[in-house]
């Protein structure tokens, strides 16, 4: 629990347009604590949608204000940080940047709460050491387990709940679970959210989109607002 609450972060993978953000956010507003949306996307394929950049930040900020919720977005590069801090309440460090140590030092200086995702190939001990880079300058860190690479390919990654619990015990930090990236499958998100809640984690981060089939990023794991709302009622 974070401030006595099971933290619910949800929203689309990427900010695509004002209409998409607004429709999604309005439909899930009652069931979220923080609205997510990537303005800078770390895509494996350079030909994939890279995010709207500053325009995406402006849309995220505006929609957050409209629904009265704080927002979170991913920081890929220290050069974007000043602008991101103007528009976003929380900062996310993605799996691919968990060991980008200069970036970690920079987000520490921002003073904002940082959600630090676990690298897909990172041990728990490495994840905690990355958190310590941020903690050196800023006490507000939330860890996020988002699945690791294993031999198992029936899910996008393998959700390591036990490792995440080790991280919670050893670090004393709050840990949230992201079943969207961990599983890559809409039909597993309810059960993994319930597992996260039952196990005593501090919250969840889930991808939801007003038009999931046409999402520009991570469409296979995007829930519709209705599906997301049902999951929250379920837990
Ligand atoms: C995301 O949250 O959209 C994202 C890119 O996640 P991860 O860094 O866990 O892959
Ligand atoms: Mn995503």
d(CA 213, CA 204): 22
CB 201 within 8 A of CB 190: no
Nearest CA to ligand 1 atom 4: 94
Asked if 29 and 8 count as a contact pair (C-beta separation under 8 A), the reply is no
Over 90: is that where the pLDDT of 70 sits? yes
Nearest CA to ligand 1 atom 10: 95
Q: How far apart are CA 127 and CA 142, in angstroms?
A: 11
In the chain, what are the domains?
7-234 (3.20.20.70)
Mean pLDDT of 27-53: 97
33: Cβ contacts below 8 Å, ≥ 6 apart = 5, 7, 8, 9, 69, 70, 203
Which of the four pLDDT bands, split at 50, 70 and 90, describes residue 157?
very high
Q: pLDDT at position 231, please?
A: 95
pLDDT at 146: 98
**How far is the C-alpha of 140 from the C-alpha of 225, rounded, in Å?**
29
Residue with tokens 């300058």: 137
Protein residues placing their CB within 5 Å of the ion ligand 2? 13, 218
Distances (CA, A) of 171 to 45, 54, 141, 174: 34, 34, 10, 8
CA distance 15 to 75: 14
Residue nearest to atom 3 of ligand 1 (CA): 13
The sign one gets for the Cα dihedral 23, 210, 141, 177 is positive
Q: Could you give the CA distance from residue 62 to residue 220 in angstroms, rounded to a whole number?
A: 27
For the chain, what is the radius of gyration of the CA atoms?
Answer: 16
Q: Please report, rounded to a whole number, the percentage of residues in the chain having pLDDT higher than 70.
A: 100
The predicted pLDDT at position 138 comes to 87
According to the model, what pLDDT value does residue 137 have?
86
Best of 34, 36, 38, 175 for a ligand 1 pocket test (most atoms within 8 Å of beta carbon): 38
Query: Per-residue pLDDT for 68 more than 90?
Result: yes
pLDDT at residue 139, rounded to an integer? 83
Cβ(116)–Cβ(141) below 8 Å: yes
What does pLDDT average to over the chain?
A: 97
For the whole model, what pTM was predicted? 0.98
pLDDT reported for residue 130? 98
3-state secondary structure of 132: helix
> What is the rounded CA–CA span in Å between residue 203 and residue 215?
24
Q: What is the pLDDT of residue 96?
A: 98
Q: How confident is the model at residue 89 (pLDDT cuts 50, 70, 90)?
A: very high
**Atom of ligand 1 minimally distant from the CA of 205:** 2
pLDDT for position 219? 96
Distance in angstroms (rounded) separating the CA atoms of residues 14 and 40: 8
Note the pLDDT tens digit of each residue in 165-209. Answer: 999 999 999 999 999 999 999 999 999 999 999 999 999 999 999
Q: Render 43-72 in DSSP notation, one character per residue.
A: -SSTTS----THHHHHHHHHHHHHHT--EE
Task: Tell me the pLDDT tens digit for each residue of 111-130.
Answer: 999 999 999 999 999 999 99
C-alpha 135 – ligand 2 centre gap (Å): 25
């Amino acid at each position: 629990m974070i401030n006595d609450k099971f933290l619910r972060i949800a929203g689309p993978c990427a900010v695509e347009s004002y209409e998409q953000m607004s429709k999604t956010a309005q439909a899930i507003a009652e069931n979220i604590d923080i609205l997510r949306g990537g303005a800078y996307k770390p895509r494996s394929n350079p030909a994939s949608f890279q995010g709207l950049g500053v325009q995406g930040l402006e849309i995220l900020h505006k929609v957050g204000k409209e629904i009265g919720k704080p927002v979170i977005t991913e920081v890929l590069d220290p050069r974007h940080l000043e602008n991101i801090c103007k528009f976003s309440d929380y900062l996310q460090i993605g799996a691919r940047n968990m060991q980008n140590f200069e970036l970690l030092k920079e987000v520490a200086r921002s003073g904002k709460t940082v959600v630090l995702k676990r690298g897909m190939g990172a041990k728990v001990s490495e994840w905690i050491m990355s958190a310590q880079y941020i903690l050196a300058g800023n006490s507000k860190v939330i860890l996020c387990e988002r699945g690791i690479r294993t031999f198992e390919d029936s899910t996008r990654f393998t959700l390591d709940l036990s490792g995440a619990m080790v991280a919670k015990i050893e670090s004393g930090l709050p840990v949230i679970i992201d079943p969207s990236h961990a599983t890559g499958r809409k039909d597993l998100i309810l059960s993994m959210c319930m597992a996260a809640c039952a196990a005593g984690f501090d919250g969840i981060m889930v991808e939801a989109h007003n038009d999931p089939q046409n999402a520009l990023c991570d469409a296979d794991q995007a829930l519709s607002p209705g599906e997301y709302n049902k999951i929250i009622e379920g837990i």
